[in-house]
Homo-oligomer: A and B are copies of this chain.
Amino acid sequence: MVHYKNPLLVLGCVPEWRDKILLCRRAIEPRLGFWTVPAGFMENGETMQQAAARECYEEALATVEVGSLLAVVNVTRANQVHVMFRAKLLEPQFAPGPESLEVGLYDESEIPWSELAFPSGEYTLRQYFADRSAGREEHHFTELTSRAKP
């Protein structure tokens, strides 16, 4: 087991198509069966934006154009930094990748808030919808210190 002294970057995005956003239901642990925005560990040789787009393709077989910075979540208890962008689906085509059970486009009123996999995803979506209602595109920092719900 490698002991990392430095935090790992997790990159993700909120892919939008018209007024809906794309969510994935996880086919793997942790949090199998719960919902998430497409996100995963950044790899060597890619930019943050490329990592966010790659994760979206891997988890939802969807091609996106990555937009503005949305959220930076310092998950200090897990030694991770989650960086989330806005993104636009280039066409309404998607399907579950190997790590997803189900993928779909949802209205704000349909978001399964009580079945989201991770607190960073919930924070990201709350900021996304708050900014969208206010007609702005800002970025938001937070720190999450507590563990995810069991």
Contact = CB atoms under 8 A, between A and B. Distances in A.
Interface string A1-16: 0101111110000000
B79 A6 contact: no
A36 to B, nearest CB: 19
A139 B48 CA distance: 14
A93 interface: no
Contact of A42 (B6, B43, B45): B6
A45 B44 CA distance: 22
Task: Give how many copies assemble into the complex.
Answer: 2
Interface residues of A, number: 25
Interface stretch (A68-76, A95-103, A104-112, A123-131): A68-76
A53 to B, nearest CB: 13
Contact of A48 (B4, B45, B47, B72): B72
B41 A6 contact: yes
B9 A81 contact: yes
A49 interface: yes
A66 to B, nearest CB: 10
Given A46-B74, A69-B69, 12 more contacts: A2-B2, A5-B43, A5-B44, A6-B41, A7-B42, A9-B81, A45-B79, A47-B76, A47-B141, A48-B141, A49-B141, A69-B141
